[in-house]
Amino acid sequence: MTDLSHVRTGFAYLDEPREAGGVLALAHRGGARHPDLHGLENTLTAFRHAAGLGYRYLETDVHATADGHLVAFHDDRLDRVTDRVGPVLGLPLSEVLGAVVGARAGLDERIPRLTDLLEDLPEVRFNIDLKAPTAVEPLADLVRRTGLHDRVCVASFTERTLRRFRRLLDRPVATATGPASVAVQVYAPFPLRVGRLLRDGGAVLQVPHRFRGRTVVDRRFVELAHASGRHVHVWTVDVRAEMEHLLDLGVDGLVTDRTDVCKEVLVERGVWYSGAAT
């Protein structure tokens, strides 16, 4: 595999694994498709399980409750994975915490607050997907108050959300590029690609390998990102052969539900990184 450890973004969150010769392995929602974690996505049990495997980068999502608390939860409603219904935004923290995750499978897990994860797993870093505009200010405030600047990378599917989050910080935090920049890299002529990246404050392109039948991540995509000083993380990669192919292209990170398979591949290649968060 090509040595790309010289591609520096200026953010310890992204640079430290590459400088150590490793690849960022991000446990998606704690490793939602690991055989031992069926029905336990985004729970403290799932995140502890991934950390126990040696993962030092965990991916999660955040919503803000009606009373302004951040919870690690993907959907905007409770319906799919809990025994309750209703929008997270419309409920106070007490009701959200009362919802049982995995109840249909006889499980009894609760939705964690983001602060619960940060305190329970001080050795890991988090990739946080801002799922709603109401979560922007609480997350920026949490980063400022608790000094999480080197411990988180923040992403969103909304450009405005990312720009607002960056403006609220007292010093820079690693963030993903916005979706418009990603689209330009795939569809636009070369000069427009470069110009768009120069205007985007993101340090990493977090993208699917393929989207709607079109290949997003190929060698040219990775080379362009690296030429601009950015890293490439690919989601959500659960098949060994696909992991191998992407690593051959030189990607910097893999986001996976199959934490067992991904660790096995990276260990075999000698690029497994399990350094502690700072």
**Residues 6+ positions from 93 with CB-CB distance below 8 Å:** 65, 67, 69, 71, 113
CA atoms of 42 and 29, how far apart (whole Å):
5
Q: Is residue 274 part of a domain?
A: no
Within a domain: 57: yes
In a domain, 189, yes or no: yes
Output the domain CATH number for residue 100.
3.20.20.190
Q: Are 22 and 34 in contact (CB under 8 A)?
A: no
Buried b (16+ CB within 10 A) or exposed e, 207-241: bbbeeeeeebbeeebbebbbebebbbbbbbbbeee
Token pair recorded at residue 83: 């025994």
Average pLDDT (31-51) is: 96
Mean pLDDT of 242-262: 98
* Dist. CA 35–CA 220, nearest whole Å: 35
Is 74 designated active site? yes
Mean pLDDT computed over every residue of the chain: 92
Cα–Cα dist 165/220, whole Å: 30
Q: What span, in angstroms and rounded, lies between the C-alpha atoms of 24 and 252?
A: 6
- Per-residue pLDDT at 2: 44
275 found inside a domain: no
Label residues 41-78 b or e (16+ Cβ within 10 Å = b).
Answer: bbbbbbbbbbbebebbbbbbbbbbbeeebbbbbbeebb
Pairwise CA distance, residues 168 & 170, whole Å: 7
Q: Reply yes or no on whether the pLDDT at 92 is more than 60.
A: yes
Which segment of 58-72, 73-87, 115-129, 191-205 scores lowest on mean pLDDT?
191-205
- Residue 197 has a pLDDT of 57
pLDDT of residue 248 exceeding 50, the answer is yes
CA distance 270 to 165: 36
Nearest residue to 23 via CA among 257, 244, 258: 244
Among candidate residues 28, 63, 231, 233, the one labeled active-site is: 28
- d(C-alpha 260, C-alpha 89), whole Å: 34
- Read off the pLDDT of each residue in 33-59 and give the average, rounded to a whole number: 97
Task: Point out the catalytic residue in the list 49, 63, 69, 74.
Answer: 74
pLDDT value, residue 107: 87
Question: What is the spatial distance between Cα 41 and Cα 101, in angstroms, rounded to a whole number?
Answer: 9
> What does the pLDDT read at residue 106?
86
**pLDDT at site 228:** 86
Is it the case that residue 45 has pLDDT exceeding 90? yes
Domain contains 277 = no
**Which alpha helices (H) appear in 53-173, and where do they start and end?**
93-98, 114-120, 136-146, 159-167
Mean pLDDT of the region 31-50: 96
Q: What is the pLDDT of residues 97-154, one digit of tens each?
A: 999 998 877 889 999 999 999 999 999 999 999 999 999 999 999 999 999 999 999 9
245 a catalytic residue: no
Place of tokens 């419309």: 90
Establish if 246 belongs to a structural domain: yes
* Threshold 0.95, pTM exceeds: no
Tally the domains of the chain: 1
List 58's β-bridge partners, or say none.
27, 126
Q: Domain containing 86: what range?
A: 12-269
CA 271 – CA 134 distance, rounded (Å): 38
Residue 1 forms part of a structural domain: no
Write out pLDDT tens, residues 158-200: 999 999 999 999 999 999 998 877 777 776 655 555 555 556 6
Where do runs of H (alpha helix) occur along the chain? 12-19, 44-52, 93-98, 114-120, 136-146, 159-167, 179-187, 190-199, 219-227, 240-249, 259-269
Would 227 be classed as within a structural domain? yes
Indicate whether 276 pLDDT > 70: no
